[in-house]
Structure 1
Amino acid sequence: MANSAAEMNALLGRGSEFEGKLTFEGTVRIDGKFNGEVHSEDTLIIGEGARVKAEISVANVVVYGDVTGNITATVAVELHAPARLKGNITAPQLIVDNGVVFDGNCQMSSGKSKRQAEIREIAAAAAPESGSDTVDSIDAPIITTVEPAIV
């Protein structure tokens, strides 16, 4: 994930306050106070000392500050000390450092539907043009068996 200031599109600095709906592309960092909603298909960084009270829906979120509200991420949520989160998380990947305070629930989405879409695309490209119904049968669940390792 992008962390350098050179790659950031916007910054809400320390001492700044904003209330409303934030929609953005690229990487945005909040170091001040924010109250409202955040929507993006990219990365949100909540810096140490930041206070965010929001419903957050982004691809990636990296948290060092205080967040009150639910976070939905399509890629990953990272909680780094001294982060404090009071709310629920929905994401396929969650990273939590020692020293983080998380008060809420986490639902790990499997990403299965995205994987099935990728398989459909591959099968459609490889399928003969005669209208074979092989691609339609891919809607069945993908089952993976993992054998326990003997140590």
Structure 2
Amino acid sequence: MNLNNLTSFMPDTTPSATKNILTNDVQIKGAINFESELIFDGKIEGEIVSENGNLTLGKNAEVNGEVRTKNVVVHGTVNGNITVTERVELKASSQLTGDLRAVRIVIEEGATFIGKSEVTPNKPAPAFKASDRGTAPATTKTQSASAPAVS
């Protein structure tokens, strides 16, 4: 895979010792834990967790499970809940089926979001806990983004 294509949507593509990249030929069943920065463009059935990390899900990314990080930018597909302590961005190519909890949310026109959102701009999102796990119930409110929204 050409990493220039993968990182072309990243504002800063300067290599760093703490940046981890998993490309679209990676398939994982289980959990990913990372410290600072992860670019993930593969498939995972499980959770992606980082207390202080920045996660970018590429256009080929397929996540079937929970995402709990500090910040996340989604270009691909997530079937599960996203909880971040700071900011989440749903790009135009993204599809999220699950609930979203964050301090700030950016949804680009064209993004698909089916679930509920909880935005707490004046305080950090609650710390991660085991009870946050699980997928969104089938009876959640439906929201579909077709216009830009910034909170």
CA distance, structure 2, for counterparts of residue 111 and residue 43 of structure 1: 21
- Closer/same/farther in 2, CA of residues 113 and 14 from structure 1, 3 Å limit: closer
Choose which of 37, 50, 66 in structure 2 pairs with 1:55.
Answer: 66
Q: TM-score under structure 2 normalisation? A: 0.69
Paired positions, count: 114
CA-to-aligned-CA distance 1:72-125 (integer Å, 9 cap, x gap): 0001000001100000000010000011000010001234379xxxxxxxxxxx
Q: TM-score under structure 1 normalisation? A: 0.69
Amino acid at match of 1:4: T
Q: What is residue 6 of structure 1 aligned with on the other side?
A: 15
| Identity fraction in percent | 33
Contact 1:70–1:89 (CA under 8 A) maintained in structure 2: yes
CA distance, structure 2, for counterparts of residue 60 and residue 86 of structure 1: 18
Amino acid at match of 1:92: V
RMSD: 2.0
CA distance, structure 2, for counterparts of residue 30 and residue 53 of structure 1: 13
Whose helix proportion is higher, 1 or 2?
Answer: 1
Residue aligned with 1:73, SS = strand
State yes or no: 1:32 paired with 2:52: no
Larger Rg belongs to: 1
Alignment of 1:55-94 (within 5 A): 55-94=66-105
Q: Which has the higher contact order (CA 8 A, sep 6+)?
A: 2
Amino acid at match of 2:77: D
CA-to-aligned-CA distance 1:116-148 (integer Å, 9 cap, x gap): xxxxxxxxxxxxxxxxxxxxxxxxxxxxxxxxx
CA distance, structure 2, for counterparts of residue 113 and residue 43 of structure 1: 16
Contact 2:85–2:124 (CA under 8 A) maintained in structure 1: no
Q: Which runs of 5+ in 1 are unaligned?
A: 115-151
CA distance, structure 2, for counterparts of residue 5 and residue 64 of structure 1: 20
